Amino acid sequence: MRRSAWGLSLSAARENAPAVQSTGISPTHLTVVALAVGAAIAATGGALFTVSVQAVTPETFGLDLVFLAIFMPIIGGRGSAWGAPLGALIVVGVTLNMPGYQGSGELLLAVVVLAVLLLAPGGVIGWTHRVARRLRSSRNQDRR
């Protein structure tokens, strides 16, 4: 998607809207379409969540659920399309498999998020890319 003509146009519009406008592409139109696609994906997720919960009330979206949704892309990696799904797998896996999560688990998750922000600002995916780059550069230096 990122390497398609539409994805490249979106990236270019983010970086330099006047340049994209000069090619005859409307940055406003690109932004509206991107927001509509994002809204459609979010609506699909909301519909699936509603089906799994069976009913939606104001109590359904407590502060803990909102924080979990915010933590997911932070832990996975905000700069990647796979960051949010990876963060969701990590957060859901940790919260479902952690006995006594409701007590001190929320505090532990907040500490993990702070550690990720400090030690790996790009999330798990960014950290993985950084480690892979270091390994490649050390391997290239060993060959010389």
CA–CA separation, 17 vs 94, rounded Å? Answer: 41
CA–CA separation, 112 vs 71, rounded Å? Answer: 10
Tell me the per-residue pLDDT of 124-134, one tens digit each, with 9 for 90 and over: 898 888 889 88
Tell me the per-residue pLDDT of 64-80, one tens digit each, with 9 for 90 and over: 778 888 888 888 888 78
CA–CA separation, 120 vs 127, rounded Å? Answer: 6
pLDDT of residue 138: 82
pLDDT along the chain (144 residues), means of 10: 82 89 91 92 89 84 80 85 88 73 67 84 88 85 70
pLDDT of residue 22: 92
